């Protein structure tokens, strides 16, 4: 173990504190640490090199990855190690990022556990890759809609309301909200044309949806949250209109670095990490929060879609 003075100097850096707290809990790769901390790979590798050089971190090879963990103390260093851990955790308690790190760690571990499942999905998941008469995503979607109970649903940031019109086939009522007058007018025209008497379009903002408090069973935010000026306020607005026990479904972009999206698609945010979404949901008051990446586009810039569900 490093000397006390050297150890103290090393944990003066917030990033190293976050790294050590994670590695004290779990053996992790650089890629996993990068995802958890949302920091550049070069930064993480440099900090790990310092910690390893000081004898605080060790690593081992596992397949193509190198896994890092907090160095276990020798018998003579056991007491000093306990004092060091106490100081480390006290330092971590002063960093607001550590709460999000803990959530992100659980997400990373869940993804690791799903590696085998993903392997078998790749083998068996041929749906849509080969033509089979009568089998299509549309047919599957229509089938799932039939299984959905008749609910009062709010589609926030609905655009012209493609999703709203699908949901209206089965819902008791769908309220489609968008801040574009042209989108609302166009969607309302389509609803009238297709005979959806249970589909209503309303002009309004995500942060303050024009829907009565505690009046809907289900809220959808489909590729809308990254357009919100204040995503947490938008989630708070959704929380307010949900009945107790109601559910929210968010489909949005996983955090990316394609800056041109701001200009091309009027995106305010370049997606979100799963941990960010989980933290925002939790702060608003949602519970039973589940997240997962459900799609990755094959074409550059390879946008990925994250799905998050929760209950009020």
Given 120, 155, 172, which residue is the final one in a domain? 120
Residue 151 backbone class (left: φ over 0; alpha: ψ -120 to 50; beta: rest): beta
Given 120, 145, 178, which residue is the final one in a domain? 120
Q: What letter would DSSP give residue 113?
A: H
Is the confidence at residue 25, as pLDDT, over 60?
yes
pLDDT interval class at 166 (50, 70, 90): confident
Q: What is the mean pLDDT of the chain?
A: 87
Is the confidence at residue 1, as pLDDT, over 70?
no
* C-alpha span between 146 and 171 (Å, rounded): 10
pLDDT interval class at 102 (50, 70, 90): very high
Q: What letter would DSSP give residue 119?
A: H
Q: Report the CATH number that the domain containing residue 287 is assigned in CATH.
A: 3.40.50.150
pLDDT at 117: 60
Average the pLDDT over each of 116-125, 165-174, 176-185 and give the range with the smallest value: 116-125
Owner of token pair 């299509």: 136
Q: Tell me the residue range of the domain where 247 lies.
A: 131-311
Is the confidence at residue 172, as pLDDT, over 90?
yes
pLDDT interval class at 2 (50, 70, 90): low
Owner of token pair 């589909």: 199
Residues 243 and 306 in one domain: yes
CB-based contact 105:35 (threshold 8 Å): no
Is the confidence at residue 119, as pLDDT, over 60?
no
Q: Summarize pLDDT for 251-264 with one digit per residue, the tens.
A: 999 999 999 998 88
CB-based contact 268:228 (threshold 8 Å): yes
Domain membership of residue 243 (yes or no) is yes
Is the confidence at residue 61, as pLDDT, over 80?
yes
Domain membership of residue 304 (yes or no) is yes
Q: Report the CATH number that the domain containing residue 78 is assigned in CATH.
A: 1.10.10.10
For residue 189 the two structure tokens come to 């025209």
Number of domains the chain contains: 2
DSSP 184-220: HHHHHHHHHHTT-TTEEEEE--SSS-SS-TT-EEEEE
Mean pLDDT over 284-301 rounds to: 92
| Terminal Cα distance for the chain, rounded | 47
Domain membership of residue 125 (yes or no) is no
Q: Higher-confidence residue: 12 or 196?
A: 196
Q: What percent of the chain has pLDDT over 70?
A: 90
pTM as predicted? 0.69
Residues 111 and 147 in one domain: no
Q: What letter would DSSP give residue 63?
A: T
Residues 224 and 252 in one domain: yes
Q: What letter would DSSP give residue 114?
A: T
């Amino acid at each position: 173990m490093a000397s006390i003075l050297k150890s103290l100097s090393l944990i003066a850096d917030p990033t190293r504190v976050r790294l050590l707290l994670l590695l004290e809990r779990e053996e992790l790769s650089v890629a996993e640490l990068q995802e958890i901390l949302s920091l550049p790979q070069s930064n993480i590798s440099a900090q790990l090199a310092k910690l390893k050089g000081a004898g605080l971190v060790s690593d081992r090879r596992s397949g193509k990855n190198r896994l890092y963990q907090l160095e276990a103390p020798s018998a003579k260093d056991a007491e000093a190690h306990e004092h060091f851990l106490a100081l480390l955790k006290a330092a971590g308690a002063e960093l607001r990022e550590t709460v999000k790190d803990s959530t992100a760690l659980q997400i990373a571990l869940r993804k690791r556990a799903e590696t085998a499942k993903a392997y078998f999905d790749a083998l068996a998941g041929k749906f849509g890759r080969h033509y089979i008469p009568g089998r299509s995503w549309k047919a599957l979607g229509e089938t799932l809609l039939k299984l959905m109970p008749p609910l009062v649903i709010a589609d926030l940031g609905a655009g012209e309301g493609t999703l709203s019109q699908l949901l209206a086939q089965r819902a008791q009522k769908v309220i489609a909200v968008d801040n574009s007058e042209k989108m609302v007018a166009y969607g309302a025209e389509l609803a009238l044309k297709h005979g959806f008497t249970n589909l209503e379009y309303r002009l309004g903002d995500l942060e303050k949806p024009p829907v009565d408090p505690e009046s809907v069973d289900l809220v959808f935010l489909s590729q809308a949250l990254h357009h919100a000026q204040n995503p947490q306020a938008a989630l708070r607005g959704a929380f307010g209109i949900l009945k107790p026990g109601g559910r929210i479904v968010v489909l949005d972009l996983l955090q990316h670095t394609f800056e041109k999206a701001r200009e091309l698609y009027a995106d305010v945010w370049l997606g979100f990490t799963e941990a960010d979404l989980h933290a925002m949901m939790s702060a608003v008051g949602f519970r039973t929060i589940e997240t997962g990446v459900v799609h990755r586009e094959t074409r550059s810039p390879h946008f990925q879609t994250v799905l998050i569900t929760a209950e009020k």
